Amino acid sequence: MGDYQVTGVQQDVLGAVQLELGGNPNTLALRRPFDPLAHDLEASFRLTRFADLKGRGCKVPQEVLNKLVEGLQQDYNSAAEHEHAHFMHMAIPRIGIGLDCSVTPLRHGGLCLVQTTDFFYPLVDDPYMMGKIACANVLSDLYAMGVTECDNMLMLLGVSTKMTEKERDVVIPLIMRGFKDSALEAGTTVTGGQTVVNPWCTIGGVATTVCQPNEYIVPDNAVVGDVLVLTKPLGTQVAVNAHQWLDLVR
């Protein structure tokens, strides 16, 4: 009888089954890896193939972006000079162009509207995990400004026209569920959004919160010697790309 080789995916599934049968409380937090065949899709299905560029490759370079928004920035600065709100007799500046979030003073009681939006192409082939990653990416812009609570989220989704009806009906609900679950983990909810058809698959959203000026920090005063805190290892995108290349047929 020949040796039975267990793949990495099979090991993950076996681990999930063992936890479930053993009544382990971590079972609810454990999800089995996405298997296209289990959803009646072709074994060759890969979510990352529904985009010509990888992940954040849809982003316009910062130098180009700055030139594109120069006119908007001038109008923005002019309006800001006349529209400062006040908090404890101090002016609340309008913040936006080129930063992680926009900060807009509200008419009521020294409060600010902190808002951000972001989206990108699929980074991984698991639709559920891609939804979670997209949501976490949007929220990370709030966190980058020291805002730890989000009042509301919207989801932005571009459904690739290259997907078959079957692929769409399987993949899109999984992406949405992952996005929603990640939002719930962060203590917020998804109350709407926009879904369109597009040549490429894009996933993202909008995060909004209302806070006082002392609840956010503008990360623009770094000096030599400051400590940088990394929230994940460097080289993640390189590792993801290498994994996807291994799956390509020569």
Residues that are catalytic: 58
- Please, are residues 171 and 128 in contact by the beta-carbon 8 Å criterion? no
Residue 198: phi and psi, rounded to 5, are: -155, 150
Compute the distance between CA of residue 21 and CA of residue 18 in angstroms, rounded to an integer: 5
Cβ atoms of residues 113 and 210 within 8 Å = yes
**Single-letter amino acid, residue 167:** E
What is the 8-class DSSP label of residue 95? B
By the 8 A CB rule, do 42 and 66 touch?
Answer: no
